[in-house]
Amino acid sequence: MRSNKLVGIILIIGLIAVTVFLFWQRQQPKKFGAVKVLIKQLSENDLQLQKITVESTYPARSFSNDQLTKYYQAKVLDKNDKVLYLTQVPKQYLISRFTYPGYEVNDLITKPNSEISLYLPIYPNSEKLVVTDENENTIMSVSLENL
């Protein structure tokens, strides 16, 4: 009788441990493999998705630099909009115009059709990729559900 209780307790503890392990495993990114997102930057805040693929490579590490003034933030979110991964991406080919005495232009020129490649970690519970500008304005949102 006592050994039956002990076996039951061990089975329950084992089931709980397996459930916790599987839940924890689901929250972790895959160690090898990345979602490659190719984006074309048409102008400073006009992005166009070119292609999404899953590649056999390592994802890029998260990057942040307080010195950047012109950048995008790429966020991988789950279904509850919880941030799973966040990185900063400098805006591509932003060139200050030359200044001449008496004539100064502060506008930036963007080389058209610049490409941005993102290598994002693969999370089993990732829902979408959201790209914002440095002011947190959403520039683009892409579903990651079917990857």
Considering the segment(s) 31-143 as one domain, its CATH architecture is Sandwich (2.60)
Below-50 pLDDT ranges, the chain: 96
- Residue the block writes with tokens 């074309």: 40
Model confidence pLDDT, tens digit, residues 40-53: 988 888 899 999 99
Decide if 60 contacts 118 (C-beta within 8 A): yes
What is the rounded distance in angstroms from the CA atom of residue 123 to the CA atom of residue 78?
9
Q: Is 103 exposed, middle or buried (0-12, 13-18, 19+ CB in 10 A)?
A: exposed
Domain boundary assignment for the chain:
31-143
pTM (2 d.p.): 0.67
